[in-house]
Amino acid sequence: MNTFVQQLLFTEFGSDIMDLVVATAAQGVLWGLYALGVYLTYRVLDIADLTVEGSFPLGAAVAASMLMAGYAPITAIFAACMAGCVSGIVTGFFCTKLKIPALLAGILTMIGLYSINLHVMGKANLPLLQRETLFTQWNIWGLDASTNILLIGTVVVVLAILLTYWFFGTELGTAIRATGANPHMIRANGVNTDVMIVLGLLLSNGMVAVCGALVAQSNGFADVGMGTGTIVIGLASVIIGEVLFGTRSFKNWLISVVLGSVVYRAVIAIVLQLGMQPNDLKLFTAILVAIALSLPLIQEKYHAMRKGAE
């Protein structure tokens, strides 16, 4: 059996499979940052924030523009993060000061960011050909592109998980979590929930913008429309991670979200290999998310039917 597996891996077919697995895992890990950002608003703050569909291409636009201007990749990523944080602050301002519903506030910011992204890049698409990126700069072992992206992406995501876990263990982070869980209780304890909401949106969109910057560098271009429909991808990753890997603790939840992103990318790769048209991916993802969201209700009705039958 082991000999058969070794022979399979060293054939051209086996090599193609390994390349596909590595490339899929690399994309899943990078998009894990996006899933973490969505998790912070969707689960921690209990807000459906659509700003991420604008802050994702914003991060890509800022990073790509700075790389084209000759800035270092790390500087470009930091600037992208700051831009994403500002977009989160704007949505937070709409929510807390102007009392606009969170969903609508996110939509307004997302729409505004489309024009801003065009101004940042100067055109709808900005290629990064012959420009040094984080992945070319840090490829010190001469690895192939997908393996290098997987390695660097894993390091970045692990750091993001550790920092997020540490921050939400502090008094300030705990206050943000409490704001999402029980705003009336935390407000009664003298905490300004408006500030906590703004901070949560800031962190979420900053993380999503970093994801946009990394994805742009891995793909070799930034596009003004690259954020369209990505909220569904983020939600799918969060929900798949929760269903498959559990939510026993906050640390487990963070890891589950990233693993959910990898599983989602694996599912997409499989259905594409089975012949699904790329145009149908968004529809497939929407159906997948709808099924995952309805699982608790389906399980509840199933258990009720079993009890009734007994």
Q: What is the CATH number of the domain that holds 241?
A: 1.10.3470
Give buried/exposed letters for 181-211 (b at 16+ CB in 10 A, else e): eebeebeeeebebbebbbbbbbbbbbbbbbb
How much is the CA Rg of the chain, to the nearest whole Å?
21
Q: How many domains does the chain fold into?
A: 1
> What local confidence, expressed as pLDDT, does residue 229 receive?
87
220's CB contacts (< 8 A; 6+ apart) are 127, 128, 129, 133
Domain that holds residue 128: 2-309
> What local confidence, expressed as pLDDT, does residue 247 receive?
77
CB–CB of 298/241 below 8 Å?
no
> What local confidence, expressed as pLDDT, does residue 219 receive?
93
> What local confidence, expressed as pLDDT, does residue 301 receive?
83
Cα-flanking dihedrals φ and ψ of residue 222, to 5°? -120, 140
Q: 223 pairs with which residues across the strands?
A: 125
> What local confidence, expressed as pLDDT, does residue 8 receive?
47
> What local confidence, expressed as pLDDT, does residue 231 receive?
92
CB–CB of 192/37 below 8 Å?
no
Residues of the chain under the 70 pLDDT cut: 1-16, 309-310
